[in-house]
Amino acid sequence: MMKFRENEDAVSPVIGVILMVAITVILAAVIAAFVFGMGSNIGTTKTVAVTVNQNGDDIILTYHGGADASTLKFLMIRVDPGDATKGKGTYYTVDESGSLSTTKTGLSTTLEVGAVMTIEQKGTDQRDHVVVTGHFADGSDHVVLDTFV
C-alpha cells in the first residue's frame, strides 16, 4: 500500500483573513463618511425649463415652468454674441413680477408658463452663446439652460 504525504497547509485561511480585513476597512470608511457628514453635502437640483431660438438678430426665450417653478424668483440671462463686432456679453434679468434690470429696454414679461422674452438685435450669424440661470427662494442659483443658437 502506498502512503501519500498529507499537506495540511492551505491557502484558503490566508485568503479568508485578507477578505475579512478588506470588508472591515470598507465598512469603516462608509461609517466614517456618514459620521463626518460627507454624505450630507449633496445639494438638491432645481427643475425649470427654458428654451431659446433665434429669429433674425432677435433671441427669443420661452419659459416652460417646471417642478420648482413656484420657488423661482428671477432668471438671469447672459447673451454672448458669436460675432465680436456686436460687443461683449450682456446680462438681462427678469423677476417674478416682470421687472427688468438691465440697460436694454423692451424685455419685460411675467414668469408664467409660456412667457416669451425677446432680446432684440443681440443675435448674430455666428453661434451665439445663451446661458439662463434661475435664482430660487432658498438663495441658490442653478443653470437652467446653456446652449448656442
Residue tagged 438681462 (cell numbers): 92
CATH of 49-148, one of 2.60.40.10, 3.40.920.10, 3.30.70.20, 3.20.190.10: 2.60.40.10
| Domain spans of the chain, in order of start | 10-42, 49-148
CA proximity to 110, closest of 121, 120, 100, 125: 100
What's the pLDDT at 11?
A: 65
More confident residue, 38 or 144: 144
| CA separation for the pair 121, 133 (Å, rounded) | 21
CA proximity to 88, closest of 103, 66, 108: 103
* Each residue's pLDDT tens digit, 65-87: 899 988 888 888 888 887 666 56
What's the pLDDT at 38?
A: 64
Identify whether the C-beta of residue 119 lies closer than 8 Å to the C-beta of residue 77: yes
Max CA-CA distance within the chain?
107
| pLDDT higher than 90, residue 5 | no
* Each residue's pLDDT tens digit, 88-143: 667 777 665 544 445 443 344 567 888 888 877 777 788 888 899 888 888 888 99
Lowest mean pLDDT among 26-30, 31-35, 63-67, 117-121: 117-121
